[in-house]
Amino acid sequence: MTTSIVVVSGGLGVPSTTRMLGDQIAEAARGVLAERGRDAEVTVVELRDYAVDIANNMVTRYASPRLAEAIERVVSADAVVAVTPVFTASISGLFKSFLDILDPTSLEATPVALAATGGSGRHSMVIDYAMRPVFAYLRAAVVPTAVFASPEDWGGDGGDGQLAERSHRAGRELALAVEGAAPVKRGGESATSLPFEQLLANITPGR
């Protein structure tokens, strides 16, 4: 059985350092899984290709067929690498809008590696104060190591320095999380709620 790793990239440029960072982490995870005898396939969802569809979904609550296919690819993945550029001291609006249209339980227990790119290392905390809370709300299993890359990381790294080391660590954690992940039936019990009157009374059936 092939493990599915999906990179969700909020990068807008071509080429995009955001996409490059996501690829680096995903390939590290794929390599670790290969070493452990597991085949893995890496695919990428470039959110810029779905910008209009995402905006339309926000106002109509209807996902176009191509957007629905992209969403299904993400929520059915065995592991996700989520990477965004930093704009105005936070994650990009396109990236956040995509997360907003996902069902809140769709990434439950899915191993996720977080990463971001920005113009300065001063923005590195965006991952902790803007990304982690969102993925905690989505109930994802976020790996401990997050990766932030600024221009100087790329300029002096050459793919063999500290950025590559951090990316490999995050990729390894993602691969190990995939191996230890328990199957989750999304949209099952967690999607069932008690009647409003019962919640107010703080009672459960049979009591």
**What are the average pLDDT values for consecutive 10-residue runs of the chain, which has 207 residues?**
95 90 97 95 97 96 96 97 94 96 96 94 89 96 96 63 92 94 48 42 45
What average pLDDT does the structure give for the chain? 87
Q: What is the structure's pLDDT at 33?
A: 96
Domains, the chain, ranges and CATH? 3-201 (3.40.50.360)
Residue 41 phi/psi, 5-degree rounding, is: -120, 130
Q: What is the structure's pLDDT at 89?
A: 87
pLDDT in tens, 128-137: 999 999 999 9
CA nearest to 66, candidates 45, 86, 84: 45
Q: What is the structure's pLDDT at 154?
A: 78
CB atoms within 10 A of CB 38: 16
Q: What is the structure's pLDDT at 192?
A: 37
d(CA 120, CA 179): 35
Instruction: Report residue 133 as tokens.
Output: 């809370």
Cα angle 171, 128, 31; round to 5: 5
CA nearest to 15, candidates 88, 98, 117, 95: 117
